Amino acid sequence: MKIIYNRENCIGCGACVSACPDHWVMGGGGKAILKDSKEKGGKKVKEIEEEGCNRKAAESCPVEVIKITES
């Protein structure tokens, strides 16, 4: 599975950090950071084995900048 995060469109509400602090933190510019992610095509991407709390992070995002896909 992959998490794909469009940080550019993040509004910095912190819902993802509250839902899943093991994978998300607030960072510079008042936007969330996906821990251990890599830049790919203008987005942040992270391979994961299980959704865990990341599904809740994606669902809690009011601007829907977090997607979880099958690898």
**Among 3, 10, 6, which residue's Cα sits nearest to residue 45?**
3
CATH assignment of 2-69, given 3.40.50.300, 3.60.110.10, 3.30.70.20, 3.80.10.10? 3.30.70.20
Give strand pairing partners of 39: 44
Neighbouring residues of 2: CB distance < 8 A, sequence distance ≥ 6: 45, 46, 47, 48, 68, 69, 70, 71
**Among 27, 23, 9, 18, which residue's Cα sits nearest to residue 68?**
23
pLDDT of residue 71: 72
Any idea where the domains of the chain sit in the sequence? 2-69
pLDDT of residue 28: 84
Half-sphere exposure of 48 (CA within 13 A, CB side): 22
pLDDT of residue 66: 98
pLDDT of residue 46: 97
This prediction's pTM:
0.93
Per-residue pLDDT of the chain (71 residues; tens, 9 = 90+): 999 999 999 999 999 999 999 999 999 899 999 999 999 999 999 999 999 999 999 999 999 999 999 97
